[in-house]
């Protein structure tokens, strides 16, 4: 492992790797990435691959539009097929209040160029054969949302960054961050130390632990989020279907499997990734309710990953006062993967070319002290 | 080219494992994800031991690769309908 670097990125998930990838392509390769497990060990290897632009805040819509554009290029750029399929996202609203809130977000999305439409349950049934719309008031649908296979996106970014000269260390655990006179000076790992003036905390569910090593308290809390996958079927389900009432979502992967999860308001914060029967039962119940024809499909596997949750459902990005050289790129909850291309690029331009961006003011850690938080309404889980 | 199949569900061959190893996927979890072995109908019951053995050989007999990939439910592929009504058994639903 290198003993010094211009920049150390803690976390080899999609956020850290997207930053490494963009920095490397802009010419900055004196970068060390430290990943505690294998690539795809954390949430980046455990999520459902949903990529959507239906958000309730301008910042997230903008980041999502940019990220979709970048995902469309990623296979060509990296030589790794990420199986990005724009089959759309269909949200189901079951009560008037949810419907009204959804309609408001759709108007905002339309203003920003996302072609989302409010559609009737009857129209939704034409999009998804066999959809049970009993109790559904109205739906929103955006045809340019989609799903991808997360693993090759992670590998592709890592491969390109590595080839250009970034050092990616897997199975390496950060044990300490040395700070001198309010300046980060060193990252210590179980495989040696790296002297550096700049450290990026892109550790997802582990971000709060990493921050504490530098004496910074983050409000982030990790939550287990469970998910399951069925046997592969021939393609029949175009959009991702998501029920806003209970936070169920499922889609068909390019391999043909039905893959999805469900929110659980009773899930406590933990670093747990065990599988539960409770999830299995609730998810199956919801799948049958939404799409009864799934009842005979066989489930192959269930697993779990993490949501790195902040109090307002928005990420923590940028500097933390009064420390120099400690940059946060974490707290993405359940939508870090889909925003990572844009966030990585914006962060790379900020670090390398000092080009500022509003997300570093809007989403900085200090917003919780200033009371300038604005909740993202359209989070699932 | 060898056509010896390691994973019968996903048609993963010894050559696929060697290729993945050469590209840097050198632990069992990564090898599984990159080649797709153990991700099919049997969920690794038939192939994990074979893949671990080949990986061990590729690493010059390193037996630390014998750590199995994480075992997850379900034990056997089971229809969604079998669990759909089990919510009634959950105490708080």
Q: Which residue has the tokens 């990252």?
A: A187
CA A290 – CA A91 distance, rounded (Å): 11
State whether A158 and A305 are in the same domain: no
Listing DSSP states for A21-75 in one string gives: HHHHHTT---EEEE-SSSTT-SGGGTS--EE----SSHHHHHHHHHHHHHHHHHH
The enclosing domain of A104 has a CATH number of 3.30.9.10
* Cα–Cα distance for residue pair A143/A153, rounded to 1 Å: 22
Mean pLDDT value across chain B:
91
Q: Which residue has the tokens 């949302």?
A: A145
H helical segments located in A291-354: 336-353
Q: Which of A109, A127, A110 is nearest to A119 (CA)?
A: A127
- Quick one: pLDDT at residue A380? 81
Sign of CA dihedral A272, A278, A281, A286: negative
Label residue B65 by pLDDT band (50, 70, 90): low
Task: Calculate mean pLDDT across residues A298-309.
Answer: 98
Q: Give residues with Cβ within 8 angstroms of A281, minimum separation 6.
A: B83, B84, B86, B87, B89, B90
Are both A212 and A225 inside the same structural domain? no
CA B33 to CA B21: how far, in whole Å?
Answer: 12
* CB–CB contact B84 A155 (8 Å): no
Contact (Cβ atoms closer than 8 angstroms) between residue A67 and residue A339: yes
Residues above pLDDT 70, as percent of chain B: 92
Distance in Å, alpha carbon of A302 to nearest chain B alpha carbon: 6
With respect to residue A341, please indicate whether it lies within any of the assigned structural domains: yes
pLDDT digits (tens, 9 = 90+) for A119-171: 999 999 999 999 999 999 999 999 999 999 999 999 999 999 999 999 999 99
pLDDT value of residue B1: 57
pLDDT band of B63, cuts 50, 70, 90: confident
**Is A181 part of a structural domain of the chain?**
yes
* Mean pLDDT across B17-29: 95
Rounded CA gap, A343 and A70, in Å? 11
How much is the pLDDT for B91? Answer: 75
A300 to chain B: which residues are within 8 Å by CB? Answer: 40-41, 43, 74, 77
Contacts of B79 in chain A (CB under 8 A): 295-299
Among candidate residues A183, A221, A158, A176, the one with its CA nearest the CA of residue A327:
A183
Interface touch B27/A38, C-beta < 8 Å: yes
Instruction: Let me know whether A263 and A125 are in one domain.
Output: yes
> How large is the greatest C-alpha to C-alpha distance in chain A, in angstroms?
64
Report the CATH number at residue B58: 1.10.10
Instruction: Kindly state whether residues A296 and A238 are assigned to the same domain.
Output: yes
- pLDDT for the residue B66: 60
- Residue A374 has a pLDDT of 85
> Which of residues A293, A309, A325 is at a domain's end?
A309
Q: By residue range, what is the domain housing residue B24?
A: 5-89
Which residues in chain A have their CB less than 8 angstroms from residue B85's CB? Answer: 285
The string of DSSP codes covering B24-91 is T--SHHHHHHHH-TT-STTTTTTTHHHHHHHHHHHTTS-GGGGSPPPP-S-SS-EETHHHHGGGGGST
Find chain A residues with C-beta within 8 A of B89's C-beta.
Answer: 281
Establish if A58 belongs to a structural domain: no
pLDDT digits (tens, 9 = 90+) for A165-212: 999 999 999 999 999 999 999 999 999 999 999 999 999 999 999 999
Among B41, B79, B93, select the one facing A296 at the smallest CB separation: B79
Domain, as residue range, for A33: 7-46+151-220+312-370
The complex's ipTM works out to: 0.94
Report pLDDT for B62. Answer: 78
Task: Indicate whether B93 pLDDT > 70.
Answer: no
Chain B: which residues have CB within 8 Å of chain A?
27, 29-30, 33-34, 40-41, 43, 70, 72-74, 77-87, 89-90, 92-93
Number of folded domains in chain B? Answer: 1
Residues of A in contact with B93 (CB under 8 A): 282
- The shortest C-alpha distance from A296 to chain B (Å) reads 5
The predicted-structure confidence for B26-35, as pLDDT tens digits, reads as follows: 999 999 999 9
Cα(A33)–Cα(A42) distance, rounded to whole angstroms? Answer: 14
Please state, in angstroms and as integers, the Cα–Cα distance from residue A103 to each residue in A36, A58, A63, A373, following that order: 42, 15, 20, 22
Same domain for A296 and A363, yes or no, is: no
Q: Which residue has the higher pLDDT, B92 or B22?
A: B22
Is the pLDDT assigned to residue B55 strictly greater than 70? yes
pLDDT at A116: 98
Sign (positive or negative) of CA dihedral B88, A91, A315, A17: positive
Statement to judge: residues A167 and A316 lie in one domain: yes
Q: Band of the pLDDT at A379, cuts 50, 70, 90?
A: confident
Total of domains in chain A: 2
Q: What is the pLDDT of residue B92?
A: 66
Q: Determine whether the interchain pair B81/A41 forms a contact, defined as Cβ–Cβ distance below 8 Å.
A: no
Q: Which residue of B72, B85, B89 is in closest CB contact with A301?
A: B72
On whether residue A67 sits in a domain, the answer given is no
What integer pLDDT is reported at residue B68 of this predicted model? Answer: 79
Residue A56 within any structural domain of the chain: no
Say what the pLDDT of residue B11 is: 95
For chain A, give the percent of residues with pLDDT over 70. Answer: 100
Best to test chain B binding among A170, A291, A298 (most B CBs inside 10 Å): A298
CATH of the domain at A41: 3.50.50.60
What's the whole-number average pLDDT of chain A? 97
Q: What is the pTM of this model?
A: 0.97
User: Model confidence over A72-95: pLDDT tens digits?
Assistant: 999 999 999 999 999 999 999 999
């Amino acid at each position: 492992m290198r003993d010094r670097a211009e920049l150390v990125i803690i976390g080899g998930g999609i956020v850290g790797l997207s930053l490494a990838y963009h920095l490397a392509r802009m010419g900055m390769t004196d970068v060390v990435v430290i990943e505690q497990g294998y690539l795809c060990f954390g949430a980046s290897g455990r999520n459902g691959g949903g990529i959507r632009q239906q958000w309730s805040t301008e910042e997230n819509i903008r980041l999502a539009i940019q990220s979709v554009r970048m995902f469309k290029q990623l296979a060509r750029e990296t030589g790794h097929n990420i199986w990005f399929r724009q089959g759309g996202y269909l949200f189901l609203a079951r009560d008037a209040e949810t419907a009204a809130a959804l309609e408001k977000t759709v108007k905002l999305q339309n203003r920003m160029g996302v072609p989302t439409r409010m559609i009737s349950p009857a129209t939704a049934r034409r999009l998804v054969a066999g959809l049970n719309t009993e109790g559904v008031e109205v739906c929103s649908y955006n045809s340019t949302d989609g799903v991808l296979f997360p693993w090759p996106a992670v590998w592709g970014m890592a491969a390109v960054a590595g080839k250009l000269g970034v050092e990616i260390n897997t199975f390496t655990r950060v044990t300490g961050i040395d700070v001198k006179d309010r300046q980060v000076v060193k990252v210590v790992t179980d495989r040696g130390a790296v002297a550096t003036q700049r450290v990026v905390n892109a550790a997802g569910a582990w971000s709060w632990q990493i921050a504490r090593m530098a004496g910074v308290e983050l409000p982030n809390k990790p939550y287990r989020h469970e998910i399951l996958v069925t046997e592969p079927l021939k393609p029949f389900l175009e959009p991702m279907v998501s029920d806003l009432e209970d936070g169920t979502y499922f889609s068909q992967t390019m391999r043909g499997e039905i893959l999805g999860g469900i929110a659980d308001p009773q899930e406590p914060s933990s670093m747990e990734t065990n599988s539960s029967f409770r999830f299995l039962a609730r998810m199956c119940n919801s799948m049958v309710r939404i799409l009864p024809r799934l009842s005979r499909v066989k489930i192959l596997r269930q697993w779990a990953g993490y949501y790195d949750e902040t109090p307002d459902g928005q990420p923590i990005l940028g500097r933390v006062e009064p420390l120099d050289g400690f940059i946060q790129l974490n707290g993405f909850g359940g939508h870090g993967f889909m925003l990572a291309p844009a966030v990585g690029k914006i962060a790379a331009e900020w670090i390398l070319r000092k080009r500022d961006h509003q997300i570093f003011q809007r989403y900085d850690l200090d917003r919780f002290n200033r009371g300038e938080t604005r909740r993202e309404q359209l989070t699932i889980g | 080219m060898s056509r010896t199949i390691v994973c019968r569900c996903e048609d993963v061959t010894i050559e696929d494992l060697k290729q993945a190893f050469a590209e840097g996927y050198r632990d069992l979890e990564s090898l599984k994800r990159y080649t797709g072995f153990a991700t099919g109908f049997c969920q690794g019951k038939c192939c994990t031991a074979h893949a671990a053995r080949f990986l061990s050989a590729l690493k010059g007999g390193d037996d630390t690769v014998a750590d199995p990939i994480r075992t997850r439910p379900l034990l056997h592929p089971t229809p969604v309908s079998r669990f759909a009504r089990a919510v009634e058994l959950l105490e708080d639903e």
